[in-house]
Amino acid sequence: MNIVSILITLAGIIAILALYIMSKLSQQKQPKDQVIIIPKIHDDDGHLMSSILADIPATDGSTPPPIVIEAEETDDEPVEKIIEERQIILFIAATDEKGIAGDDIPAVLEKHKLHFGEMDIFHYTMPLEKGGTISLFRIANGVKPWTLVPNDLMGTYTPGLSIILQLPSPVNDHAAVELFIAHAEGIAKDLGAQLKNSQQENFSKEDKEALLLSVS
């Protein structure tokens, strides 16, 4: 063996000894009394399971699989409110056998801010923030074809009109019902007619209170 080979062998031995000494010193610096407790988790049947947390080793040394749990609804979670749709219908009935004069209807409806529009009937409209308008309530003829075309009303008579409010409304429902009733009463008065409830009975103070209570 030549001198070069001897030097290489000695260098290797020295390196091994150095690594061994460093390893021992490192072990001595670690606290000997520290004990890592690996939690044991059991299922409902008492069988041992892997740890829930991936950063804590399982007792069998395996990596725990991801656990997916479907969230259950609690009282604190918001519950979607069911919106009930309904129509409030009142009738404006003629007080004489001849009926309500068609000649008078357009002017009275326009006085109460109803305008002729979709479906060939009159609408009370509200402005939208982004422009345009939306129908709050509408009024139609009480007889077929239910239309109120101004030119067609001239020289005719009708036994009555139907005034309809769709809920929920585009505004506060209580305010919408108040406005609806006020205009219905005003239109009936201006046409010399009688306002009636959905049962075709005279619209009373109790009817008004019941409608307002239903949206309070």
User: Model confidence over 150-205: pLDDT tens digits?
Assistant: 999 999 999 999 999 999 998 899 999 999 999 999 999 999 999 999 999 999 99
Higher pLDDT, 198 or 76: 198
- Quick one: tokens of 173? 């429902």
Closest by Cα among 185, 183, 180, 159 to 102: 159
Q: Quick one: pLDDT at residue 84?
A: 77
Q: How far apart are CA 104 and CA 54, in angstroms?
A: 81
Structure confidence at residue 32 (pLDDT): 46
pTM above 0.85, yes or no: no
Please state the φ and ψ torsions of residue 114, each to the nearest 5 degrees: -100, 140
Residue 2's pLDDT is what? 57
CATH entry, 86-213, from 3.30.930.10, 3.30.1400.10, 3.40.50.150, 1.10.4160.10:
3.30.1400.10
Q: In the prediction, which pLDDT does 29 show?
A: 47
pLDDT confidence of 77, banded at 50, 70, 90? low
pLDDT at 69 over 50: no
- The answer to whether residue 86 scores a pLDDT higher than 80 is yes
Range list for CATH 3.30.1400.10 in the chain: 86-213
Per-residue pLDDT tens over the stretch 89-135: 999 999 999 999 999 999 999 999 999 999 999 999 998 888 889 99
Residue 16 Cα distances to 4, 5, 9, 26, 209, angstroms: 19, 17, 11, 16, 99
Per mean pLDDT, which range of 50-59, 73-82, 203-212 is the poorest? 50-59
How many of the other CB atoms lie within 10 Å of CB of 96?
A: 9
